[in-house]
Amino acid sequence: MEHKKINLTLKVWRQQDANAKGKFADYKVSVSPDSSFLEMLDDINNDLEKKGMEPITFESDCREGICGTCGLVINGQPHGPIPRIATCQLHMRNFKEGDTIYVEPFRAKAFPIIKDLMVDRSAMDRIMEAGGFISVNTLSVPDGNSIPIPKEVASEAMDAASCIGCGACVAACKNASAMLFVSAKVSQFALLPQGQPERYIRVDEMVKAMDQYGFGNCSNTYACEAECPKGVSIKNIARMNRDYFMAKIK
Amino acid sequence: MGWVWKSLNSSIGKKFVMAVTGVALMLFLVIHLAGNMSLYGGKDAFNNYVGLLEHIKPFIRVIEVILGLVFAFHIFNGIRLWIQNKQARPLPYSVNGSRKNTTVFSRTAFITGSIVFIFLVIHLQSIWYVFNFSGVEEDLYTLTTDWMRVGWYAALYFVAILLLGFHLNHGFQSAFQTFGWNNSKYFPFIKKFGTFFALVITIGFGSIPVYFFLLGGK
């Protein structure tokens, strides 16, 4: 079997720490089209370590698109050029021989750079702590038909809950707004009976936390929806706007 | 009432102010356009319409004050949002990928709004101020059509209206999204209607300098 490789030039953002000035470093690589993007970075890091050089810092965990840990901006697009996937699911077959690829970290004031391509996304955890939960113990999964919920509503809640909290929406938004993330977390509870008692206090607290961490405001450009690896809909943002208004006049 | 200001100062609150004032300004545009269409009826038709408004001047003055406030809130909030949004990403990306999946109308709302604002100031000074306060005893038809025959004014008017169309194309659907009125059943229609509305406003106002400057008017 033929093992064809493609030659690429990578321009990778290197930055020592949050306060250091970063810059692009060039890496010439010859990579199998079957390799994933992160495997390619692993290879580069192996080479760098062999040479006694500092490897590129980047985050990843499950490498199957469900944990939300990985996240790189590849040629200006969070998680790269292919829609509906996380960075770990991007394969090099999507690039052409001789391509130059820019690899940058998620850029937002609310996501300070820790090192190279790794950013601190704990602001999203703080937002979750502000209200992304149900205070009462709802016990284990309820019996199939004990809480009647129309299929459409259950599906909508599930779609909102499919948000993996990767932060690509923030990275994609021209204003670095976290509205899609927060609205998904608000919606997954707002749509179901278990979420009702705290529905309005939740949206109020989560929006307050979101504003506190320096995310931008929503301009309704909908870049977030296009870049979301899970395709979370901007209808969730509309729902959050609605709930926030209700929370304020209640 | 503290909670009202606090709520309107939140990220969603500021967007809500943009949407409410935006919708009010769109209503104003419809009325303004309807009035302007009487320009095509000639001098008497337009001046009769102006006379009608002169008849209810105290009412018009109240409306003007409200309109001024609405404009001020829309502009003030827009600038505040723009500054915050710029601050939210101190270092921009080296490669801008957002072009691929956003419209030029939504990305440029601040720029188009700013240019329309510059036009608004000139427009108010040259027509509204001169007619109401300068003591010049000229009828509004002559004043307006004279300006429309000035090359740079007609060109500025046309360009500003075109950009206003861009602004509205984004603003109309954006207001609905901000109010939370987004549903897969009717939102595609709202988007289309927003574009239709922007076209009506652009063609309606934009035809005036074309008619008087390029075609010579009456």
Q: Domain limits of chain A?
A: 6-114, 121-249
- A-chain residues within 8 Å CB-CB of B12? 207, 218, 240-241, 244-245
- CB contact at 8 A, A240 and A179: yes
- B-chain residues within 8 Å CB-CB of A240? 12, 180
- CB contact at 8 A, A178 and A127: yes
Q: Choosing among A221, A224, A249, which should be mutated to test the B contact, i.e. which has the most B CBs within 10 A?
A: A221
| A54 Cβ under 8 Å from any chain B Cβ | no
Q: How many CB atoms lie within 10 A of CB B199?
A: 14
Residue A214: pLDDT above 60? yes
Residue A38: pLDDT above 70? yes
**Rounded mean pLDDT of A150-175?**
96
d(CA B2, CA A233): 33
* A6-114 and A121-249 in the same fold: no
d(CA A122, CA A114): 12
Of B14, B16, B89, which is closest to A109 when you measure between CB atoms? B89
Phi, psi of A30 (to 5 degrees): -120, 115
- Distance from the A26 Cα atom to the nearest Cα atom in chain B, whole angstroms: 14
Give the homologous superfamily in CATH for domain A6-114: Beta-grasp domain (3.10.20.30)
Residues in Cβ contact with A189 at an 8 Å cutoff, skipping those fewer than 6 apart: A132, A134, A195, A198, A199, A202
**Rounded mean pLDDT of A21-37?**
97
Give the rounded percent of residues in chain A with a pLDDT score beyond 90: 92
| Residue among A239, A56, A87, A241 nearest A164 (CA) | A87
Taking only the tens of pLDDT, chain B with its 218 residues reads: 789 999 999 999 999 999 999 999 999 999 999 999 999 999 999 999 999 999 999 999 999 999 999 999 999 999 999 999 999 999 999 998 877 789 999 999 999 999 999 999 999 999 999 999 988 878 999 999 999 999 999 999 999 999 999 999 999 999 999 999 999 999 999 999 999 999 999 999 999 999 999 887 76
Q: Predicted confidence band at A143 (pLDDT cuts at 50, 70, 90)?
A: confident
**Per-residue pLDDT, A17:** 94
**Per-residue pLDDT, B138:** 87
Residues 116-135 on B with a CB inside 8 Å of A are none
Phi, psi of A8 (to 5 degrees): -135, 155
- CB contact at 8 A, A11 and A29: no
- Distance from the B44 Cα atom to the nearest Cα atom in chain A, whole angstroms: 44
Domains of chain B: 2-92+102-214 (1.20.1300.10)
| A235 Cβ under 8 Å from any chain B Cβ | yes
Give A121-249's CATH code, choosing from 2.60.40.1890, 1.10.1060.10, 3.20.20.450, 1.20.1260.10. Answer: 1.10.1060.10
Q: Predicted confidence band at A87 (pLDDT cuts at 50, 70, 90)?
A: very high
**Rounded mean pLDDT of A117-140?**
94
Q: How many CB atoms lie within 10 A of CB A67?
A: 16
With tokens 């919708």, the residue in question is B23
| A56 Cβ under 8 Å from any chain B Cβ | no
Start-to-end Cα distance in chain B: 55
**Per-residue pLDDT, B96:** 86
**pLDDT, mean over chain A:** 95
**pLDDT, mean over chain B:** 95
Three-state secondary-structure class, residue B24? helix
Residue A200: pLDDT above 60? yes
- A-chain residues within 8 Å CB-CB of B102? 174, 221-223, 226
- B-chain residues within 8 Å CB-CB of A238? 177, 179-183
Tell me the torsion sign for CA atoms B29, B33, B35, B36.
Answer: positive
**Per-residue pLDDT, B218:** 60
- Residues for chain B: how many in total? 218
**Per-residue pLDDT, B29:** 98
Q: Predicted confidence band at A106 (pLDDT cuts at 50, 70, 90)?
A: very high
Q: Predicted confidence band at A250 (pLDDT cuts at 50, 70, 90)?
A: confident
**Per-residue pLDDT, B15:** 97
| Residue among A24, A57, A14 nearest A38 (CA) | A57
pLDDT tens-digit map of A49-82:
999 999 999 999 999 999 999 999 999 999 999 9
pLDDT tens-digit map of B22-68:
999 999 999 999 999 999 999 999 999 999 999 999 999 999 999 99
Q: How many CB atoms lie within 10 A of CB B122?
A: 15
